[in-house]
């Protein structure tokens, strides 16, 4: 089972074969955010507190596209 903080490997998409730590899970939609993976650019409007501009942030990936990594051997454990 994939949980927050676990190291995973990306199986498909533009970031295939990269690995990273899970930072957020959406159980309802079976999706997860992985640190530094599936980066998208978001346009942020200027407010009184923050300056606006284009910000890069992680986007969700479906859990079927992730595999848990064994931290000892760096091998895939399960899909």
1-10, 12-21, 37-46, 64-73: which has the minimum mean pLDDT?
64-73
Predicted confidence (pLDDT) per residue in 37-61, tens digit: 999 999 999 999 989 999 999 999 9
| Calculated CA dihedral for residues 22, 5, 25, 46, nearest 10 degrees | -70
SS (H, E, C) the chain: CCCCCCEEEECCCCCCCCEEEEEEEECCCCEEEECCCCEEEEEECCCCCCCCEEEEEECCEEHHHEEEEECCCCEEEEC
| pTM, two decimal places | 0.80
CATH class of 7-74: mainly beta
State in Å, rounded, how far the first CA of the chain is from the last one.
Answer: 9
- pLDDT, mean of residues 13-23: 93
């Amino acid at each position: 089972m994939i949980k927050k903080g676990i190291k995973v490997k990306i199986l498909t998409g533009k970031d295939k074969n990269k690995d990273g730590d899970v930072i957020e899970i959406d159980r309802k939609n079976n999706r997860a955010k992985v640190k530094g993976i599936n980066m998208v650019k978001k346009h942020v409007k200027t407010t009184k507190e923050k300056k606006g501009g284009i910000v890069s942030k992680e986007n969700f990936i479906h859990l079927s596209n992730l595999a848990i990594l064994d931290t000892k051997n760096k091998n895939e454990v399960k899909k």
